[in-house]
Amino acid sequence: MAARAAGVRKGVKLSAIGTGEEVLGETLGRPVETADVPLEVYRTRLIAAGADAEFADVAVDGSRLVARDGNARLTPDVERVLGRSPRTFRTWAADHLR
């Protein structure tokens, strides 16, 4: 199993892992690639960057959960906290390109 970058899925709709780079590539007008990183390598790099082992373990556990789609659920949290409907990732990416 490998770690992948993934956003918190509390937006407008659920998105499969891997669609983020597609959306970013379309927004930027160029290919965007991601790389799978083995979880043990991810943990080692976190510690090498100054994270303590306990934090690294939690981060690896979270990445493992995301890889299994364990966080694939919609919640009302964004609207409750921000007082507005959530934006799509595509909208967020376009807004931050400017």
Return the pLDDT at 12.
Answer: 58
Return the pLDDT at 1.
Answer: 44
User: What is the C-alpha to C-alpha distance for residues 62 and 16, in angstroms, rounded to an integer?
Assistant: 16
- Say if CB 7 and CB 71 are below 8 A apart: no
Return the pLDDT at 98.
Answer: 72
User: What is the C-alpha to C-alpha distance for residues 79 and 41, in angstroms, rounded to an integer?
Assistant: 36
- Collect the ranges in the chain with pLDDT lower than 70: 1-18
- Say if CB 27 and CB 93 are below 8 A apart: yes
